[in-house]
Structure 1
Amino acid sequence: MNVGVVVFPGSNCDRDVVWVTQGLLNQPTRMIWHEDSDLSDIDVVIVPGGFSYGDYLRCGAIARFSPVMQATIKHAEQGKLVLGICNGFQVLTEAGLLPGALVRNRDLHFVCDRVPLKVERTDLPWTNYYRTEEVITLPIAHGEGSYYADANTLKSLEENGQVLFRYCNAEGKSDQSSNPNGSLNHIAGICNRQGNVLGMMPHPERASDPSLGGVDGMRLFEGMLGAIAAIL
């Protein structure tokens, strides 16, 4: 199976992802420049973290118009997998692949930390290697990571089980003290209705190598690759 990692001017987590998919999981991985539009050989597209196009205007607002994102939209429409991490999540909302928006953190400060997350659903490729309501720990690093959507969109996300990760404390309880950025409903990651597109603010690629002190993110990549292998 082939993994594609998008590279924008300003991306800075692209090689972190490549280290996981290619270096640790031994999967063929191609770095895709933002001007490229041929994804015919790619099974899963990963839009990494960073500051695409310098985050001018809004985070992800310019990246949405790139040739690679137009191709990624078509890739998703075919039912293929797309993962957006941090800035990648912001790009996916700007591109219309996921609802809502990521806005300035509640306290208007950049947050860099390791936080607990509750896994809400485990019947999708992204989470099928976790347990329902399992509490995992992943790093975050963002200034505009507060998830926002109107009331109807939030209601739809909850009713359709599109919230996959939620900020919580070590016991799995979600409240303001365990919410690092003010995200509505404590949302850390959502998918589209079909489940093939995931956007999340935490960084699973930074919690996949044992040498970094945590591997809770590795199961996301293993589940993703396992799901692809099952249909190839």
Structure 2
Amino acid sequence: MPRFGALKAVDDVSLSVAQGTRHALIGPNGAGKSTLFKLITGLLRSDSGRVCLAGQDVTTASEVRRCRLGISQTMQHASVFPTMSVAENVALAARRHTGRVSWIPRRETEVHARTDELLDQVTLTGRGGVQVDALSHGERKQLEVALALACRPTLLLLDEPAAGMSAAERARLVTLISGLPREVTVLFVEHDLDVVFELADTVTVLNLGRVLLSGDPVTGRASDEVRRAYLGGVR
């Protein structure tokens, strides 16, 4: 559990994410959702407890090492190069995953093929030549997912993927995430409960740094405790 002064941002949280599932992490402002994400990715170090990936203890592993082992994430705000093209952004991420940049023609052919594959996967086919600045908000979010998938993760963390999206963009996002192969486990933080209950196999509710409830979406929707936790606003 990390401490910020006397505050326990995440307090004795036990979270198990089953392989291949779409697992939603929800809760009101200040519940500890983003902090828990940072603990999983290695951006924050915990004062106690363990983080395990497929049975391997990665508690002391760096953020880079965890990424190499299969953990990837998107952020609340798209982290892209706006003056580069969509394909250039994805190709750069694909090259970074190999741990080296090479201009050998055979390897470049592989990078281009991987780039096309990722653009297809996030439904940005035909948009590779477009400068990122010209994308809609929803398309930027799709691009962010492509960058996260470039490292071939087994665990993909999505931090508020539907934030700021229109209804049509949200529908495309739900289709995109639903269509990801089940070899990729998805853990996502989301404030849009319609998106949560449409996508999630499992919902975990955090409140004041503790797990309030974890179960199937029907149980979460029906819980009086969850309704009380959300009074006053949702993050």
Q: Quick check: which has more Rg, 1 or 2?
A: 2
Q: Say which structure is richer in helix.
A: 2
Task: Kindly indicate which of the two structures has a greater share of residues assigned to strand.
Answer: 1
Q: Which has the higher contact order (CA 8 A, sep 6+)?
A: 2
TM over 0.5: no
TM-score relative to the length of structure 2: 0.31
Q: TM-score, normalised to structure 1's length?
A: 0.31
